[in-house]
C-alpha cells in the first residue's frame, strides 16, 4: 500500500519534527514500512510553516495498523504534537511508469 502524507510543519519546531520522523521511520521499518521519498516546500509567506510531503509504503493495512499502535511511536508523539499543524493522508496505488523510453 502507498500513502502520500502531506504535513504542515511549524518552522520554529523543525528540529522536533525531524527528530520525530527519524524515530517514526525506525519504528515503521519494523513493520515493513518505509518513507520512500520526501519533498519539502518553502515556508509560507509569513515564514511560519512549511509543507513536507512523504511517499510512504507499507506491505498491507495490518502493518500500517500495527505501526500506528506501536508504543515506541506513542512515546515520541509529543514531538509530533509540538511541530505538526496539519496532516493530510492520501491512499493510493502504484501508477504508470512515465520513465519508459519513448519510441
Q: Is the pLDDT of residue 101 over 70?
A: no
SS3 63: helix
Average pLDDT over residues 24-50: 95
Classify 2-92 by CATH class. Answer: alpha beta
Average pLDDT over residues 2-8: 98
Judge contact between 50 and 40, C-beta under 8 A. Answer: yes
pLDDT for position 15: 97
List, for residues 51-76, the tens digit of each pLDDT value.
Answer: 999 999 999 999 999 999 999 999 99
pLDDT for position 99: 85
Q: Is the pLDDT of residue 103 over 60?
A: no
Amino acid at each position: 500500500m502507498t500513502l502520500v502524507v502531506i504535513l504542515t510543519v511549524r518552522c520554529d519546531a523543525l528540529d522536533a519534527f525531524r527528530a520525530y520522523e527519524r524515530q517514526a521511520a525506525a519504528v515503521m521499518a519494523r513493520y515493513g514500512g518505509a518513507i520512500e521519498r520526501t519533498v519539502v516546500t518553502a515556508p509560507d509567506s509569513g515564514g511560519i510553516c512549511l509543507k513536507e510531503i512523504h511517499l510512504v509504503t507499507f506491505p498491507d493495512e495490518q502493518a500500517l495498523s500495527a505501526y500506528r499502535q506501536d508504543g515506541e511511536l506513542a512515546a515520541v508523539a509529543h514531538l509530533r504534537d509540538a511541530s505538526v499543524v496539519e496532516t493530510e493522508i492520501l491512499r493510493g496505488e502504484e501508477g504508470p511508469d512515465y520513465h519508459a523510453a519513448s519510441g
